Structure 1
Amino acid sequence: MNMAVFIILFIILAILNIVYPSFGWYLRYGWMVKGESEPSEAYLIMSRVGGIVALVLLIFVLFSGAFTY
């Protein structure tokens, strides 16, 4: 399978992390908590920042041709 397909998949995940950062929190921690619980603002901000950094790096790798065989 072409490496570009995996990079595009991770780009979609990075965009999802930027737009809905609480989704990742619910998948990782939310199921462990009984009752109402929300992620902190710091977690949401750092999740968005991480998504932006990942998106920039993945777009650079996709268009740089680093994985052309």
Structure 2
Amino acid sequence: MFFFYFLFILLAVLNIAFPRFGWYLRYGWMVKGESEPSDAYILMSRISSAIVLIVFFFFILGGR
């Protein structure tokens, strides 16, 4: 179970720190030529990752 917690936290933190990397993994490979994620996408990606991480910590700490 610890591995799952570690992996989930790692992915959330990486998405907060490097949201463009997640965009390239999900959408970037489908686009021909130069394409970048919008500023709104980057902002929403960071906000949603932070919220998910906070909720995850509440579930983990509340479940013990």
- Calculate percent identity across the aligned residue pairs: 55
**Structure 1 length-normalised TM:** 0.82
SS in 1 for 2:35: coil
**Structure 2 length-normalised TM:** 0.88
Kept after mapping to 2: 8 A contact 1:11/1:59: no
Corresponding residue of 2:24: 26
- CA displacement at 1:5 relative to structure 2: 2.7
Task: Mark the structure with the bigger radius of gyration.
Answer: 1
Q: Structure 1 runs of 4+ off > 3 angstroms? A: none
Unpaired segments ≥5 residues, structure 2: none
* Aligned mate of 1:52, from 50, 53, 58: 50
> Aligned residues, how many?
64
Cα RMSD, aligned residues only: 1.3
- CA displacement at 1:8 relative to structure 2: 2.3
Which structure has more RCO (C-alpha within 8 Å, separation ≥ 6)?
1
- 2: distance between equivalents of 1:19 and 1:12? 11
Kindly provide the amino acid, as one letter, of the partner of residue 3 in structure 2: V
Unpaired segments ≥5 residues, structure 1: none
